Amino acid sequence: MEIDTTAILSTMQANADPLAKNIPMADTATGRVDKVAQDFEAVFLSEMLQHMFEGVDFGGLSGNPESQEVYRTWLVDEYGRIMARAGGIGLAEPVRNELLHLQEISHART
C-alpha cells in the first residue's frame, strides 16, 4: 500500500487551527510551560502514530529499507508536531495545568 505523504502533510497543515499555532512561546515561565506541554503532546502523538505506520510502503523513496525507516520516523514525528500545533487530542492543556500547579506548589514552599 502506497501513501501520498505530501498530500497528507498539506491537508493537515491546511486544517490546522491558526490560533493554536500562535501559542505564546515567549521567554516567560508560562510560555515555556506552554511549549513543553505542546511538545509532550507531539511526542505522545508521534509514538501513537509510529505503530499505525509500521509496514506501510512509502513509495520507494530509496531502495534501502534502513533509509525508508528513517524517513518514516521523521515523517511521523512531523505528523505529531503538526497535530499538536493544530490542537491535538487535548492532552497539552491538562499537562500545562499540572505543570503550572506544580510550579505554584514549588514557589509556595520557598
Specify if 65 maps to a domain: yes
pLDDT, one tens digit per residue, over 2-21 is 556 666 666 665 655 544 44
pLDDT of 8 reads 61
3-state helix, strand, coil in the chain (%, to 5): 70, 0, 30
**Average pLDDT, stretch 93-97?**
94
Specify if 3 maps to a domain: no
Specify if 19 maps to a domain: no
Indicate the range of 1-10, 12-21, 72-81, 90-99 predicted with least confidence: 12-21
Specify if 61 maps to a domain: yes
How many other CB atoms sit within 10 Å of the CB of residue 45? 21
Specify if 44 maps to a domain: yes
Specify if 17 maps to a domain: no
CA distance 110 to 5: 50
Q: 70 is in which domain, residue-wise?
A: 25-109
pLDDT, one tens digit per residue, over 18-67 is 444 454 455 677 788 999 999 999 999 999 999 888 877 766 665 677 77
Give, for 94, the enclosing helix (H) or strand (E). Answer: helix 92-109
Indicate the range of 28-32, 61-65, 82-86, 93-97 predicted with least confidence: 61-65
Number of domains the chain contains: 1
Specify if 77 maps to a domain: yes
CA distance 98 to 75: 30
Specify if 30 maps to a domain: yes
**Average pLDDT, stretch 57-82?**
79
* pLDDT of 90 strictly over 60: yes
